[in-house]
Amino acid sequence: MTEQPEKLDVSGVDIAVRHRSGGAPGLVWLGGYRSDMLGTKAERLDQLAGDLGLAYTRHDYSGHGESGGAFTDGTISKWLAESIAVFEHYTKGPQILIGSSMGGWIALRMVQELNRGGPDDRIAGMVLLAPAPDFTHELMEPELTEKERADMETKGYFEEFSEYSPDPNIFTKTLFEDGRRNRVLVEPLDTHCPVHILQGMADPDVPYTHAQKLMEFLSRDDAALTMIKDGDHRLSRPQDLDLLARTVTAMVEPIRAAR
């Protein structure tokens, strides 16, 4: 049974964190919308960190998993602030950010914030799985129905069927408004580190063209895109997890060699 997480108070909310001590570069997991840190990919990375002797940090955003707070109070800005607080409290030395879906958006915003005073050598690399930067503006807003738009104005939110949970997805008006303030696909992204994107071509939620668009904004970086022809959004099949482990290991090795 997985041991109980530690709790970090961030703006009055208890954020659940699991941290494995180890060497550098450390791995930092950033999950997706409504996911938690005990999912298949996060657990596989814990195993990989153990095998490689690396530090590994993961947390649940507020309103997710074992963290406190209400899910409907969540925004990109709020979850970003929590992720930075966990990063600064638990990690030291170079780190590889590994973001899945919305976690890819959070990872890109983290690099922007941490690099405000100049390139931050703490971020040594990024691995993004089916990244969904700007998903509220780029992927959802153009597809909203009249009822969804009306619900957002009258109720402050709308519900959408989820293929991954018996409960519907809830998207708030506040999330959309805050998402516009956190857009990253507006100018070249200088992450100052290698970036490797893993994207399923059979992804029903984040089309592979979105990953291709992100690559255009990463034109100044050492960026690579691997397409998995039959890969879905989760990328949690055994072969997907093996690819994730190989990709992360390949990014770790030159960082270790340079230290």
According to the model, what pLDDT value does residue 1 have? 39
Q: Which of 100, 112, 87, 99 is nearest to 183 (CA)?
A: 112
- Give me the half-sphere count of Cα atoms (radius 13 Å) on the Cβ side of residue 241: 13
Query: At 85, is the secondary structure helix, strand, or coil?
Result: helix
Residue 167: Cβ within 10 Å count: 10
Q: What is the pTM of this model?
A: 0.95
CATH, range 6-133+193-258: 3.40.50.1820
Residue range 190-228, pLDDT digits in tens:
898 999 999 999 999 999 999 999 999 997 779 999 999
What tokens were used for 171? Answer: 């998207």
Q: Which residue has the tokens 């507020």?
A: 62
- Per-chain mean pLDDT for the chain: 94
Each domain of the chain, given as residue ranges in start order, spans 6-133+193-258
Average pLDDT over residues 155-184: 91
Which two tokens mark 122? 């703490």
91-119 pLDDT tens trace: 999 999 999 999 999 999 999 999 765 65
Strands in 23-30's sheet, in edge-to-edge order, are 6-10, 13-20, 54-59, 23-30, 95-100, 123-129, 195-200, 223-228
Does the CA dihedral 240-242-246-252 come out positive or negative?
positive
